[in-house]
């Protein structure tokens, strides 16, 4: 996989537009709530994801290895700010092809709409908000896995 293929995937899936919408919908900074670890794990399990939790990093993650690539999706829920980062390596190569969060992927796609957002991350104020934000991230992640990981 190349960086070009990586970014083309996000362009085809209208990341900038969809991410902008989720950030605009969930922008209640004053009432954001840090979700409980157990609530996040339960929501992930209901959606058939088996993420691990890294206590020192305070994040949930899934790591997948194939013959050709190693991939890790990180899910952050600190203080009600819900975000993800993608880390992708070609097997046998120490330096990642890409390592950054969704917000920065949008910025690398040269999006003006991200710059116009009041807040560049969605905020969770309840478990209902958390579920909807996770659904956005996980749906994109499923598409990514189907295109780049499962076929390898």
Give the residue from 27, 7, 21, 13 showing the smallest Cα distance to 104: 7
What is the rounded (10 degree) CA torsion for 33, 111, 142, 87? -80
Q: Which residues contact 112 (CB under 8 A, 6 or more apart)?
A: none
Asked if 44 and 132 count as a contact pair (C-beta separation under 8 A), the reply is no
Per-residue confidence of the chain (152 residues) as pLDDT tens digits?
788 888 999 999 999 999 999 999 999 999 999 999 999 999 999 999 999 999 888 899 999 988 888 899 999 999 999 999 999 888 888 889 889 999 999 988 876 667 777 889 999 999 999 999 999 999 999 999 998 877 65
């Amino acid at each position: 996989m190349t960086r070009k293929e990586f970014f083309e995937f996000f362009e085809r899936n209208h990341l900038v537009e969809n991410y902008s919408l989720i950030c605009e919908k969930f922008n209640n900074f004053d009432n954001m709530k840090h979700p409980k670890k157990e609530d996040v794990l339960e929501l992930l399990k209901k959606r058939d994801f088996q993420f691990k939790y890294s206590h020192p990093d305070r994040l949930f993650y899934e790591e997948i290895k194939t013959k050709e690539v190693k991939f890790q999706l990180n899910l952050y829920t600190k203080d009600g700010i819900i975000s993800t980062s993608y880390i992708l390596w070609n097997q046998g190569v120490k330096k990642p092809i890409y390592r950054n969060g969704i917000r920065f992927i949008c910025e690398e796609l040269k999006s003006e709409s991200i710059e116009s957002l009041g807040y560049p991350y969605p905020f969770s104020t309840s478990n209902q908000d958390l579920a909807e934000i996770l659904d956005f991230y996980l749906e994109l992640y499923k598409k990514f896995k189907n295109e780049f990981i499962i076929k390898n």
